């Protein structure tokens, strides 16, 4: 699941390709990391100290640590420490499979827990993966010493869960290698003890076996000596034909505790003498708290204190309902920060003005698009709204400041960054701050390090209170103060040649940040232009599941259907013409067409639509069958999906992520929108921010994976982007009406 932008580890790590003009990258930079002059010895020493501290935090008596992420106990218990937070996506089970596969561990002896939010657990594999992808120099990046990469990860407080990165980066770059290297170390110790060549030994079920003598040694009895050895930094990994755990649907490790109720989320957490707080920030983002009469809140039973912050007011009470009652009794006054004139309409007008002015903030593509488009290109304008993450579990974070030390408990997508941010807010040394990571009840990008208002808020409250405090955002606060997927607009233009193919294609789009680094344009066209127009409102634009691939997927795949119609061509055949022969994209498109019965008759009132999008190195195509209900709203009847993610670790878990992403994409397309008037968000709860109901979800969803052998892609997010355009294209097949503005329900009621 993942659900975040890719961190920019190397803004200038490699020359930018000529056809791209250096779009501004999202998230945070590594360019300022001060490593010059540190010297290789100093870097190695720093890495060694961080690793030793990490091992000391997690390794007890009778336990032995391997490369930070793994420990083997003398009773054969195997514990894996994951730097990824459990958001319900199931990727931690896949990570455990990857390490245990290479280790040849007995699966019933394996457990996985969250790594502490400490520098020694900064995710080096993630840093290497992101850096290789963004620089385009994965070969060079692979040669960077581990100690230097560890320094980069620690400098960035990199323990992030997002970008559909857990298996393809942490799993492949780190966990598989740790498992394989540890296995070799265990074999080396066993060979010495048995007095036989290492080549005669095999491993299985957490044992080293010597077939000739029939002797075996348990991992637990070899672990102490093996942990003292230097591990191979680049061990040989298994061939897929030898897999026993990977590519199998082992049950998820996290589910039993979630089913029996023993799993603890931030909302569940409690400690003795704890108080509960809730908060209201300025309704117009950018505004400040100007005044508040505390008396009405203090008159509510259970309320103990009202705390004023710069842009918010918080009420502390003995329980949540008392705190909420106290907050609702208040009439705080806020300034508008000069943003009262901002509305949904004004943002779209700002984009129109920018497009008319014709001065993009940046651009990419190839060829003279103006000349190739000609005087009368085919043109379409698209608009999409702000989207809310709508997490099942609103923000809930507990903090306690005592004896100069600050502890925090809860779920964030980067525990290490959360710790460091809290230390900065509190003015404490990082060694005096501990973040205890917990399960997250949904996130989709909302709990990333860039959007940590609650970390700042609860830290400020805790520093003023003599007892632990849990800060809970109400659903209303969570809806009104989101880090939304940006409201965006685009004008697409194209020309079709006499051969029925696209001669030129341009996409002018406006939003707060460029979409270039997250968007892959899959079609092979002679002339292409993508021009980015920058505009930011008062809202906090955040990373929403699959980031900019949702907007761009809707724009490009809806327009491809319009062009197919203009060319009097079948939508699938038209796309086929513009995909490279023998490409993965063409294979996915052909497979989804075949499996969906594309071109076969449908009942009256039912239409089919197709869309194909690549995001996070994974290609997903949907064919959707849909109809229109009496009230004008859409009814999704069937979804056929084909996915090429290179290879799949846990098929059932992967299918669940694709299905969840598809439904989230359909939900957002059909009914979800955050709108503004006078700078204020108009929605307040799930009553006016409608999530797709079970009755309206697809009755049938056929999901098929192509194991192409390509480099592994992500799986948590790529199901989202093709959903909206495939549905819009299906509805055109039914109604003859093009859908260029989302959500669909606003048009049904118009």
Residue 31 has a pLDDT of 38
Residue 378 included in any domain: no
Beta strands in 94-145 (DSSP E): 110-114
Domain match, 241 and 306 both: no
- In this prediction, residue 551 has a pLDDT band, given cuts at 50, 70 and 90, of very high
- For residue 3, pLDDT over 60 is answered with no
Distances (CA, A) of 624 to 280, 375, 699, 701: 42, 35, 11, 9
Residues 248 and 204 in one domain: yes
Distance between CA atoms of 489 and 511, rounded to whole angstroms?
A: 7
Q: What CATH number has the domain bearing residue 496?
A: 3.30.365.10
Average pLDDT over every residue of 92-119: 97
**Does 740 share its domain with 682?**
yes
Range of the domain at 71: 58-120+158-252
Q: Does residue 169 lie in a domain region? A: yes
| Same domain (yes/no): 351, 322 | no
Q: Is residue 607 in some structural domain?
A: yes
List, for residues 398-423, the tens digit of each pLDDT value: 999 999 999 999 999 999 999 999 99
The verdict on 240 and 95 lying in the same domain is yes
Longest dimension (CA), the chain: 84
Query: Is the predicted pLDDT of residue 22 greater than 50, yes or no?
Result: no
Q: What is the pTM of this model?
A: 0.93
Does residue 142 belong to any structural domain of this protein?
Answer: no
Q: What confidence tens digit (pLDDT) does each residue in 426-480 have?
A: 999 999 999 999 999 999 999 999 999 999 999 999 999 999 999 999 999 999 9
Q: Are strands 303-308 and 618-628 parallel, antiparallel or unpaired?
A: unpaired
pLDDT of amino acid 639: 98
- For 368-397, the DSSP string reads -HHHHH-SS-EEEEEEE-BB----SS--EE
Does one domain contain both 230 and 321?
Answer: no
* pLDDT value for 98: 98
Distance of CA 611 to the CA centre of its chain: 22
C-alpha distances in Å from residue 522, one per residue of 57, 493, 593: 46, 17, 17
Look at residue 44 and tell me whether its pLDDT is greater than 90.
no
Mean pLDDT, residues 246-263: 96
Average pLDDT value for the chain: 93
| 218 within some domain | yes
Determine how β-strand 607-615 pairs with β-strand 488-496: unpaired
Which residue has 């029996």 as its token pair? Answer: 260
pLDDT above 70 (res 26): no
Q: 303 and 244, same structural domain?
A: no
Last residue of a domain, one of 237, 252, 267: 252
DSSP state of 337: T
Q: What is the pLDDT of residue 545?
A: 97
Beta-strand runs (E) in 29-180:
63-66, 70-73, 78-82, 110-114
Tokens standing for 221? 């009895």
- Tens-place pLDDT, residues 178-192: 999 999 999 999 999
For residue 46 the two structure tokens come to: 């720093």
As for how many domains the chain has, the answer is 3
131 burial class (0-12, 13-18, 19+ CB within 10 angstroms)?
buried
**Is there a single domain that holds both residue 163 and residue 197?**
yes
Q: Are strands 378-384 and 488-496 parallel, antiparallel or unpaired?
A: antiparallel
Q: Residue 419 domain-assigned? A: yes
Query: pLDDT tens digits, residue range 643-678?
Result: 999 999 999 999 999 999 999 999 999 999 999 999
């Amino acid at each position: 699941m993942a659900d975040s932008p890719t961190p920019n580890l190397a803004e200038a790590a490699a020359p930018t390709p000529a056809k791209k003009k250096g779009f501004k990258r999202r998230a945070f930079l590594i360019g300022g990391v001060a490593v010059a002059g540190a010297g290789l010895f100093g870097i190695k020493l720093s890495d060694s100290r961080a690793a030793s501290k990490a091992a000391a935090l997690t390794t007890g008596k009778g336990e032995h640590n391997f490369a930070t992420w793994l420990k083997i106990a003398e009773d054969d218990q195997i514990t894996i420490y994951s730097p990824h937070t459990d958001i319900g996506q199931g990727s931690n089970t896949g990570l455990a499979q990857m390490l245990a596969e290479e280790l040849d561990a007995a699966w019933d002896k394996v457990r996985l827990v969250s790594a502490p939010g400490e520098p020694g657990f900064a995710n080096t594999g993630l840093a290497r993966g992101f850096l290789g992808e963004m620089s385009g120099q994965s070969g060079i990046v692979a040669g960077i010493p581990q100690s230097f990469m560890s320094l980069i990860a620690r400098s960035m407080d990199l323990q992030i869960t997002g970008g559909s990165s857990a298996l393809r980066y942490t799993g492949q770059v780190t966990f598989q290698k740790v498992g394989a290297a540890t296995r070799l170390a265990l074999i080396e110790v066993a060979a010495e003890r048995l007095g036989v060549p290492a080549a005669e030994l095999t491993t299985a079920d957490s044992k080293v076996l010597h077939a000739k003598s029939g002797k075996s040694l348990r991992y637990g009895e070899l672990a102490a000596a093996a942990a003292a050895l230097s591990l191979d930094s680049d061990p040989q990994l298994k061939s897929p034909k030898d897999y026993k755990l990977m590519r199998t649907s082992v049950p998820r490790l996290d589910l039993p505790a979630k089913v029996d109720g023993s799993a603890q989320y931030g909302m569940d957490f409690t400690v003795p003498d704890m108080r509960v707080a809730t908060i209201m920030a300025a309704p117009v983002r950018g505004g400040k708290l100007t005044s508040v009469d505390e008396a009405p809140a203090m008159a509510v039973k259970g309320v103990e204190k009202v705390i004023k912050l710069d842009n918010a007011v918080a009420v502390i009470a003995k329980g949540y309902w008392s705190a909420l009652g106290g907050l609702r009794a208040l009439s705080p006054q806020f300034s508008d920060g000069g943003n009262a004139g901002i509305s949904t309409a004004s943002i779209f007008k700002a984009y129109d003005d920018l497009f008319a002015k014709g001065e993009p903030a940046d651009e990419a593509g190839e060829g003279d698009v103006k000349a190739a488009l000609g005087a009368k290109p085919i043109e379409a304008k698209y608009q999409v709204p702000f989207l809310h993450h709508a997490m099942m579990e609103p923000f809930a974070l507990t903090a306690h400041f005592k004896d100069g030390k600050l502890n925090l408990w809860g779920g964030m997508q980067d525990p290490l960054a959360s710790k460091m941010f809290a230390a900065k807010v509190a003015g404490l040394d990082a060694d005096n701050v501990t973040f205890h990571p917990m399960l997250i009840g949904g996130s989709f990008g909302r709990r990333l390090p860039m959007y940590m208002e609650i970390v700042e808020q609860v830290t400020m409250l805790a520093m003023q209170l003599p007892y632990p405090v849990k800060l809970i955002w109400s659903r209303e606060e969570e809806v009104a103060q989101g880090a939304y997927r940006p409201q965006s607009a685009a004008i697409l233009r194209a020309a079709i040649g006499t051969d029925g193919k696209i001669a030129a294609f341009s996409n002018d789009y406006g939003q707060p940040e460029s979409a270039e680094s997250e968007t892959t344009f899959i079609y092979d066209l002679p002339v292409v232009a993508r021009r980015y127009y920058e505009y930011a409102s008062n809202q906090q634009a955040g990373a929403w599941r699959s980031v900019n691939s949702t907007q761009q997927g809707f724009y490009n795949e809806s327009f491809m259907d319009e062009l197919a119609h203009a060319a009097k061509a079948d939508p699938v055949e038209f796309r086929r013409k513009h995909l490279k022969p023998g490409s993965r994209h063409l294979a996915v498109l052909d497979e989804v067409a075949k499996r969906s019965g594309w071109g076969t008759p449908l009942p009256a009132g039912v239409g089919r639509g197709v869309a194909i999008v690549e995001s996070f190195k994974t290609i997903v195509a949907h064919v959707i069958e849909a109809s229109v209900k009496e009230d004008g709203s859409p009814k999704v009847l069937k979804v056929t999906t084909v996915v090429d993610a290179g290879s799949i670790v846990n098929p059932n878990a992967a299918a669940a992520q694709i299905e969840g992403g598809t439904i989230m994409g359909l939900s957002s397309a059909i009914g979800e929108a955050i709108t503004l008037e006078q700078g204020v968000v108009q929605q307040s709860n799930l009553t006016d921010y409608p999530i797709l109901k079970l009755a309206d979800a697809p009755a049938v969803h056929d999901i098929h994976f192509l194991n192409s052998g390509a480099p592994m892609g992500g799986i948590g997010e790529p199901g989202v982007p093709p959903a909206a355009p495939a549905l819009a294209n299906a509805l055109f097949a039914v109604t003859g009406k093009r859908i260029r503005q989302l959500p669909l329900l606003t048009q049904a009621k118009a």
